Amino acid sequence: MTEQLRLMAVHAHPDDESSKGAATMAKYVSEGVDVLVVTCTGGERGSILNPKLQGDTYIQEHIHEVRKKEMDEAREILGVKQEWLGFVDSGLPEGDPLPPLPDGCFALEDVDKAAGELVKQIRSFRPQVITTYDENGGYPHPDHIMTHKITMVAFEGAADTEKYPEGEYGPAYQPLKLYYNQGFNRPRTEALHNAMLDRGLESPYGEWLRRWDEFERVERTLTTHIPCADFFEIRDKALIAHATQIDPDGGWFRVPMDLQKEVWPTEEYELAKSLVDTSLPEDDLFAGIRDNA
């Protein structure tokens, strides 16, 4: 090793980093990898999902500041660095027909211009590996889909000095690998669901699996399985730090920790782009990079 390994995780809202790939990040931090979370929006339009905090008028009126403090706490727990891109949460439109997105929100930004803000972060931090969402956003939230779009543009654009001049965006740099988070995959869900039933426990995943069947969700290719069971407790602690967004007594935490570690001790990714040679399946996001770093 002659160069520091660096991982960048690009997420839409504060709390996404703790529910998608958090144990992976904590694992790499423990190994000395420099990890940066880039959060695209402040989560200003996020609902208060923890029933214990619903009705709290202070939180409702200061949701942006509250979620920033939650992010600060989660960042400390995970041991990562974190930067805000500064875009405004689009909210999750609901209804039939769906209402228009609010003016000025992240999902309505010009993709190339918004990607430029991420290019600045990439050129400054110089990550070899970037993780983000697939083209469906993981789930079809407009901010998740927009996060995918700008990350794809920025992955290429960080090396493009004509599109993003160095004087404004910093010295050119080319990341080497790009992954999609695929932690919420069917094999994992089925394995945990069946293990819960085998133990005579109520599974929180029955409804998930029914929805999968109903909507005939296309399964993604899981190329990379990161062993990180030793960091599941850190993952959960970071997620609980986002108190407005998660109920510590809710379904996220109903699968006993020992069962999780035994049945599914990894987090999954889909390799979307690679400029280095690697063999699939992988057990390391830096496969093909470590030996040449």
| Cis-peptide, bond into residue 97, ω within 30° of zero | yes
In 3D space, the residue among 64, 138, 141 whose CA is nearest the CA of residue 107 turns out to be 141
Q: Which helix (H) or strand (E) holds 67?
A: helix 63-78
Query: Does 64 appear as a known binding residue?
Result: no
Tokens coding 171: 């010295």
In 3D space, the residue among 56, 35, 92 whose CA is nearest the CA of residue 231 turns out to be 35
Amino acid occupying residue 17: E
Contacts of 51 (CB under 8 A, 6+ apart): 247
Amino acid occupying residue 179: Y
The 8 Å CB, 24+ separation contacts for 158-167 are 158/119, 158/122, 158/123, 163/112, 164/116, 164/119
Contact assessment for residue 178 and residue 155, using Cβ atoms and an 8 Å cutoff = yes
Q: Is 253 helix (H, G, I), strand (E, B) or coil?
A: helix
- What phi, psi does 8 have (nearest 5°)? -115, 130
Contact assessment for residue 89 and residue 15, using Cβ atoms and an 8 Å cutoff = no
Q: Is 92 helix (H, G, I), strand (E, B) or coil?
A: coil
Contacts of 110 (CB under 8 A, 6+ apart): none
Query: Does 16 appear as a known binding residue?
Result: yes
Characterise 218 by phi-psi region: left (phi > 0), alpha (psi -120 to 50), beta (else): beta
Query: Does 144 appear as a known binding residue?
Result: yes
Residues in binding site: 13, 16, 144
Residues in binding site for Zn(2+): 13, 16, 144
